[in-house]
């Protein structure tokens, strides 16, 4: 799921979808956030590999389940701040992270459209290369630990995680890294969820105590139709609840600044995530 062919296909289709649809989505999120009494601050989290920058957003009053949000390949930027604000408005304490912190502080790109330009890819590829599965697991432990130290987080509830594109498999690694605390993981158009590697995300499900949502893009499924079956089989073997569904939209459809953003299917996926997080 999600490979160079996916990106090449999206690039060929161009960025017409970035116009009114994306602007409308941004405006809708801004309006929604304006009605919420939220606290938002930039934070720095010590990790085993350095110091990760992130944005922490939560309702101004009360305590709430914590959520680690992993952005897509273009990294932490305005689109994900808005998405995190919306989730916070739904009653969660959301930490949206810069998974490229080893290379520099966010934002690296202003939007997903930049990734499709040669200069955008040249900028991002060293940052992508600096990420390893082991490093992501270490980061996950640091991020969950940060949430558990915050007054806005309800420690009586378990923590959720959501991730997009390359952030999708990071949700499984998060659940496996801190199984006693992470109770729900949602992957949207996730990349490389099923591989031959010994630590492939689908093989890590057995090491978790979480419920899962795997929302798969139709063009990713067309290229790797066996992945959904492997995810279902791995979850069944691990006795973990998992909702695995192919959506009627293309890779990136849940990210509000993506050329493939599909509002109807994105809203449906968002509702399924909220249903999942309601189990925390």
Q: What's the mean pLDDT in 5-11? A: 47
What's the pLDDT tens digit per position in 24-43?
455 455 555 455 699 999 99
Q: Percent of the chain at pLDDT above 70?
A: 87
If phi > 0 it is left, if psi is from -120 to 50 it is alpha, else beta; for residue 218 that is alpha
Q: How far, in Å, are 165, 223, 263 from residue 113 at the CA level?
A: 14, 23, 18
Report yes or no: 189 and 171 within 8 Å, Cβ to Cβ: no
pLDDT of residue 180 exceeding 70? yes
More confident residue, 21 or 51: 51
Give the pair of three-digit tokens for residue 151.
């007054």
pLDDT at 208: 98
- Convert the pLDDT of each residue in 46-96 to its tens digit: 999 999 999 999 999 999 999 999 999 999 999 999 999 999 999 999 999
Has residue 176 got a pLDDT over 70? yes
Strand order of the β-sheet with 66-70 is: 38-47, 50-59, 93-97, 66-70, 159-164, 182-188, 211-217, 242-247
Structure confidence by residue, pLDDT tens digits, 123-171:
999 999 999 999 999 999 999 999 999 999 999 999 999 999 999 999 9
User: Which pLDDT score is estimated for 11?
Assistant: 44
Q: What is the pLDDT of residue 12?
A: 42
Instruction: Please tell me the distance from the alpha carbon of residue 56 to that of residue 81, in angstroms, as a whole number.
Output: 9
Mean pLDDT of 201-230: 98
Rounded to the nearest 5°, which phi and psi values hold at 74?
Answer: -85, -5
**pLDDT for residue 5 is more than 70:** no
Q: Which long-range contacts (CB under 8 A, 24 or more apart) does 180-183 make?
A: 180/209, 181/144, 181/148, 182/144, 182/158, 182/208, 182/209, 182/210, 183/157, 183/158, 183/159, 183/209, 183/210, 183/211, 183/279, 183/280
Instruction: Please work out, in degrees rounded to the nearest 5, the angle formed at the alpha carbon of residue 89 by the alpha carbons of 86 and 90.
Output: 95
d(CA 255, CA 140): 22
Mean pLDDT estimate for the chain: 91
Cα 195 from Cα 227, distance rounded (Å): 9
Q: What are phi and psi of 10, to 5 degrees?
A: -65, -40
The confidence score (pLDDT) of residue 14 equals 42
- Residue 209 CA to residue 195 CA, distance in Å, equals 21
* Inter-residue contact 53 to 90 (CB < 8 Å): no
pTM given for the model: 0.92
Q: What pLDDT, on a 0 to 100 scale, did the predictor assign at position 53?
A: 98
CATH of 4-277, one of 3.40.50.720, 3.40.190.10, 3.40.50.1820, 3.20.20.70: 3.40.50.1820
Measure the CA–CA gap between 229 and 119, rounded to whole angstroms. Answer: 37
**In this structure, are residues 106 and 98 in contact, taking their beta carbons and an 8 Å threshold?**
yes
What integer is the mean pLDDT of 244-264?
A: 97
- At 116, the pLDDT band (50, 70, 90 cuts) reads confident
- The rounded percent of the chain whose pLDDT value lies above 90 is 86
């Amino acid at each position: 799921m999600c490979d160079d062919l996916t990106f090449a296909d999206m690039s060929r289709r161009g960025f017409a979808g970035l116009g009114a649809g994306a602007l409308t989505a941004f405006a809708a999120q801004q309006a929604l956030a304006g009605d919420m009494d939220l606290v938002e601050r930039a934070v720095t989290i010590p990790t085993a590999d350095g110091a990760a920058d992130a944005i922490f957003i939560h309702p101004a009053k009360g305590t709430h389940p914590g959520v680690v949000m992993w952005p897509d390949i273009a990294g932490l930027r305005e689109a994900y701040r808005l998405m995190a604000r919306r989730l916070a408005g739904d009653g969660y304490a959301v930490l949206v992270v810069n998974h490229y912190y080893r290379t520099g502080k966010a934002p690296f790109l202003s939007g997903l459209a930049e990734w499709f330009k040669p200069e955008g890819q040249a900028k991002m590829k060293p940052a992508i290369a600096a990420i390893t599965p082991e490093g992501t697991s270490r980061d996950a432990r640091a991020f969950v630990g940060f949430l558990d130290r915050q007054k806005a987080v309800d420690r009586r509830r378990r923590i959720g995680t959501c991730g997009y594109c390359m952030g999708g498999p990071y949700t499984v690694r998060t659940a496996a890294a801190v199984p006693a605390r992470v109770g729900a993981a949602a992957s949207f158009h996730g990349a490389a969820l099923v591989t031959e590697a010994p630590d492939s995300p689908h093989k890590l499900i057995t090491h978790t105590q979480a419920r899962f949502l795997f929302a798969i893009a139709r063009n990713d499924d067309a290229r790797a139709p066996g992945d959904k079956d492997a995810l279902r089989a791995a979850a069944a073997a691990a006795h973990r609840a998992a909702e695995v569904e192919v959506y009627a939209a293309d890779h990136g459809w849940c990210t509000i600044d993506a050329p493939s953003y599909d509002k109807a299917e994105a809203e449906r996926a968002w509702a399924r995530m909220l249903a999942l997080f309601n189990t925390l």
